[in-house]
Amino acid sequence: WEPNKPLVIEEIEVAPPQAGEIRIKIVATAVCHTDLYHLLESRHKDGFPTVLGHEAAGIVESVGPGVTEFQPGDKVIPLFLAQCKDCRFCKSPKTNQCEHAWTRVIQDQMAGVESRFTCKGKRIHQFVATSTFSEYTVINQIAVAKIHPDAPLDKVCLLGCGVCTGYGAAVNTAKVEP
């Protein structure tokens, strides 16, 4: 419920998706150092209580009004950095650092809307707009990538952070051209 305290497993309520949102059943998730850092090293209580996790894969359980690119049963990967598709970074082939998404991540918001999590009547923050340490999560459709139906979810869950972090190191540090 707060930083620098042991993790607690709680039963939470996950509201249905609203307009433009997708509810995902998380099938596989990984633990990233960022999750542990936020829990063990955070000096800010503002982002707590929270459901951690941002590296996962799952299956679309339901969609909110206006969602047309996804349907129940689709295999997906939540993206902690959404893509607005309009800013200069989203239009660049050299980065995925959407200038609008970072603001939302810093504010622990789900692409500009309130978290869909509550526990015992209290609002629970959504960690980096994904919160994949939950059986279900609700994410804005711009922060979800559809994947091949045969993709092994226990392996592709690493694409949500670990693989793209390695890619970023290769491109930004080693200067490898895409």
Q: What is the pLDDT along the chain (178 residues), one digit of tens a residue?
A: 677 778 888 899 999 999 999 999 999 988 776 766 666 666 666 677 888 777 899 999 999 999 999 999 999 999 877 777 788 888 887 766 777 665 555 444 444 457 888 899 888 888 777 888 889 999 888 889 999 999 999 998 877 665 566 666 677 778 887 6
Write down the pTM of the prediction.
0.79
Q: What angle do CA 100, 103, 105 make, to 5 degrees?
A: 110
d(CA 137, CA 160): 15
> How many CA atoms, within 13 angstroms, populate the side-chain half-sphere of residue 166?
6
| CA 86 centroid distance within chain | 20
**Three-state secondary-structure class, residue 54:** coil
Residue 146: per-residue pLDDT = 95
* Full set of structural domains in the chain with CATH: 13-173 (3.90.180.10)
CB of 28 closer than 8 Å to CB of 153: yes
Token pair of 89, please? 């970074």
> How many CA atoms, within 13 angstroms, populate the side-chain half-sphere of residue 131?
30
Residue 68: per-residue pLDDT = 93
Residue 4: per-residue pLDDT = 74
